[in-house]
């Protein structure tokens, strides 16, 4: 399923999973790529049920295309750098840094999509558990990558002394 | 005259085009003020400082508000398609924008219709679109960080988000990533790879690696890469040759980073403030101040 933007993909994914279906967020097949997209891979046999669910929720996909080959998978490798009093995590092209003692987000860097400066403005200076999540206010793949980095640094932050 | 294309994180910000000036922590364009922090504003601030130091005209900017929906970016692409063919610039730098292959190609066609082809520099979202479109070789310089270099090296990735793991694991092997990016025609004439080590490269491989002065905290600070690209935009914009500009941008940005004595929580505005002194120091030390 192809959507208007990444934030709609994230909303749709959440709704579908909450209703018990197993789906995956993946890269679009080459013939429909525009540059900054995600799609939802779902079992074709559930098409009508899932489409109806999303339509009722106001996030109907733009279109549905059959896929024969494997789709691109989102990045799943994280790089962590310990600066002593600060901790940085990078996922793909996005980096998030916290101050260990306070768990305050002190910097967000990397990325190239236009929500990156917006995400930084909204998140920097706030504690990890008080800042808006990238998946809530981001709209692009850079925003989605920052969400992955955010989840990872939150996981690591919970283990800090 | 040179120009910079980018976005600001405000959906209500209309398309503006015109000369940019800077004072304190603000940019001024077409009667509007923009806070200098990260993103295209940081890039422009660095470019303004270069042109001011060189005693030349500052940049023109093409800006629009976009917080990631892509609506502003698409309007700006359309504006560029219509207006660029009548413009004349020494360099044209593309920055934060929603990557869109079709719109990218239309803008590149518009560049082809300009009276003189400017040096083309691409960073951030526009660099992603340039690579995905298969038109990377039309550009004179890309300014990726290491994560973005891995994306350029992965011929199948349409965005850094999809860079394959076996290529990401080459993170510390810049030479291999650079070779792979050129082999698959996904690199510009020059690459300026920003990071703990700054690297200048071309099709032949790494030309120079700069590791000093070393300031580890810079990697975490949002906007440091924008400074380097802004210095490159400014130096080429005032007429300096491309490769010397790449090397100067690397060295001046590292000097400014060191001078700010940052920690990973420092904001980039504190580093931008150091650029004027670093320009004086760099060119006062015998580097050619310059005209073409």
- Count of structural domains, chain A: 2
Clarify whether residues A150 and A84 are in a common domain.
yes
The Cα B110–Cα B9 span in angstroms is 26
Of residues A68, A72, A59, the one with CA closest to residue A33: A72
**Domain limits for position A30:** 6-57
Residue A100, pLDDT score = 95
Q: Check CB contact under 8 Å for A75 and B163.
A: yes
Clarify whether residues A154 and A83 are in a common domain.
yes
- Domain of A130: which CATH number? 3.30.390
End-to-end CA distance of chain B: 13
Low-confidence ranges of chain A (pLDDT < 70): 35-36
Residue B170, pLDDT score = 59
Residue-wise pLDDT tens digits, B76-93 = 999 999 999 999 999 999
Peptide bond preceding B67 in cis form (omega within 30 of 0):
no
A52 found inside a domain? yes
Q: Check CB contact under 8 Å for A112 and B156.
A: no
Considering only CB atoms, A77 lies closest to which of B128, B168, B263, namely: B168
Clarify whether residues A113 and A52 are in a common domain.
no
Q: What is the DSSP letter of B234?
A: H
A82 found inside a domain? yes
Q: What Å distances lie between residue A19 and A26, A45, B188, B192, B217, CA to CA? A: 19, 16, 47, 47, 44
Clarify whether residues A153 and A119 are in a common domain.
yes
> What DSSP letter does each residue of B160-222 carry, written as one string?
GGG--HHHHTTTT-HHHHHHHHHHTT-S-SEEEEBSSSEEEEETTEEEEEE--S--GGGGGST
Clarify whether residues A82 and A154 are in a common domain.
yes
Q: Which helix (H) or strand (E) holds B91?
A: strand B91-94
A49 found inside a domain? yes
Residue-wise pLDDT tens digits, B35-66 = 998 899 999 999 999 999 999 999 999 999 99
The Cα B244–Cα B248 span in angstroms is 6
Clarify whether residues A82 and A53 are in a common domain.
no
Which of B7, B41, B264 is the mutation pick for testing A, counting most A CBs within 10 A? B264
Task: State the pTM of this model.
Answer: 0.91
Clarify whether residues A143 and A95 are in a common domain.
yes
A21 found inside a domain? yes
pLDDT at B206 over 80: yes
CATH of region B3-284: 3.40.1190.20
ipTM of the complex: 0.88
Domain chopping of chain B, boundaries: 3-284
Q: What is the DSSP letter of B24?
A: T
A71 found inside a domain? no
- Predicted confidence band at B254 (pLDDT cuts at 50, 70, 90)? very high
Q: Could you give the 3-state DSSP secondary structure of residue B142?
A: strand
- Lowest-confidence region among B36-40, B239-243, B276-280: B36-40
């Amino acid at each position: 399923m192809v959507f208007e933007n990444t934030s709609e993909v994230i909303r749709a994914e959440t709704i579908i999973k909450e209703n018990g279906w197993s789906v995956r967020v993946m890269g679009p097949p080459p013939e429909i790529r525009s540059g900054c997209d995600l799609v939802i891979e779902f079992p074709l046999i559930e098409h009508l049920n899932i489409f109806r669910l999303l339509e009722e929720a106001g996030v109907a996909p733009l279109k549905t295309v059959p896929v024969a080959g494997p789709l691109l998978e989102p990045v799943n490798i994280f790089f962590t750098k310990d600066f002593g009093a600060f901790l940085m995590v990078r996922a793909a092209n996005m980096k998030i840094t916290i101050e260990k003692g306070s768990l305050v987000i002190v910097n967000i860097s990397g990325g190239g999509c236009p929500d990156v400066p917006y995400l930084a403005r909204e998140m920097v200076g706030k504690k990890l558990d008080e800042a808006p999540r990238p998946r809530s206010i981001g709209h692009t793949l850079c925003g989605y990558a920052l969400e992955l980095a955010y989840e990872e640094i939150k996981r690591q932050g919970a283990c800090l002394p | 005259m040179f120009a910079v294309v980018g976005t600001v994180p405000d959906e209500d910000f209309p398309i503006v085009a015109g000369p940019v000036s800077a004072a304190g922590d603000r940019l001024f364009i077409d009667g509007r003020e923009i806070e200098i922090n990260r993103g295209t504003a940081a890039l422009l601030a660095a470019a303004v400082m270069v042109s001011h130091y060189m005693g030349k005209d500052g940049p023109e900017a093409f800006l629009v508000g976009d917080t990631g929906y892509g609506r502003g970016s698409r309007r700006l692409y359309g504006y560029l398609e219509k207006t660029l063919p009548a413009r004349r610039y020494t360099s044209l730098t593309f920055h934060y924008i929603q990557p869109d292959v079709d719109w990218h190609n239309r803008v590149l066609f518009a560049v082809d219709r300009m009276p003189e082809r400017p040096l083309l520099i691409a960073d951030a979202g526009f660099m992603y679109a340039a690579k995905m479109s298969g038109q990377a070789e039309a550009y004179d310089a890309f300014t990726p960080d290491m994560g973005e270099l891995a994306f350029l090296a992965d011929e199948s990735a349409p965005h850094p988000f999809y860079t394959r793991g076996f290529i990401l694991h080459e993170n510390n092997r810049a030479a291999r990533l650079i070779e792979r990016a050129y082999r698959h025609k996904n690199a510009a004439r020059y690459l300026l790879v920003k990071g703990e080590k700054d690297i200048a490269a071309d099709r032949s491989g790494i030309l120079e690696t700069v590791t000093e002065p070393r300031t580890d905290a810079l990697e975490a600070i949002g906007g440091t890469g924008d400074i380097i690209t802004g210095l490159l935009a400014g130096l080429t914009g005032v007429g300096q040759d491309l490769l010397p500009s790449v090397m100067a941008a690397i060295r001046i940005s590292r000097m400014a980073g060191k001078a700010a004595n940052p920690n990973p929580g420092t904001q980039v505005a504190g580093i931008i403030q150091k650029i004027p002194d670093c320009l004086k120091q760099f060119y006062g030390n015998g580097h050619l101040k310059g005209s073409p």
